[in-house]
Amino acid sequence: MPMYEYHCQDCDKTFEELLAANHDGPVPCEHCKSENTARIMSTTVIHMPNPMRGAVNPAHRAAAAPPQCTAGKGGFT
């Protein structure tokens, strides 16, 4: 079941509810029990392995880049 975030218009509090995706109806505020609530857009966090970050975020590309070849530049022969 997805987690939804709601904001109460009466007490100005924000709260989360675990509801079925097809839930249709009022969700009472957990603080004041008012049904004058609205679902709000929640932020999403995506976790991915470190090598994948470079493909998504340019700031991580240097950290995700493979090591440079040193053959012929004073490396082992």
- Residue 31: the pLDDT is 96
| pLDDT score of 41 | 85
Each residue's pLDDT tens digit, 8-20: 999 999 999 999 9
What's the CATH class of domain 1-42? Answer: mainly beta
The CB-side HSE value for 11 (13 A sphere, CA atoms) comes to 12
Kind plus residue range of the DSSP H or E element containing 40: strand 37-40
Q: Find out whether 15 and 6 touch, Cβ atoms under 8 Å.
A: yes
Task: Return the SS3 of 32.
Answer: coil
The predicted structure's pLDDT at residue 55: 59
pLDDT digits 0-9 by tens, 14-65: 999 999 989 889 999 999 999 999 999 877 777 666 665 555 666 655 555 5
Cβ distance 4 to 43 under 8 Å? Answer: no
pTM across the whole model: 0.54
- Pairwise CA distance, residues 51 & 77, whole Å: 29
Give the pLDDT confidence score for residue 27 in this predicted structure.
96
Residue 59 is predicted with a pLDDT of: 63
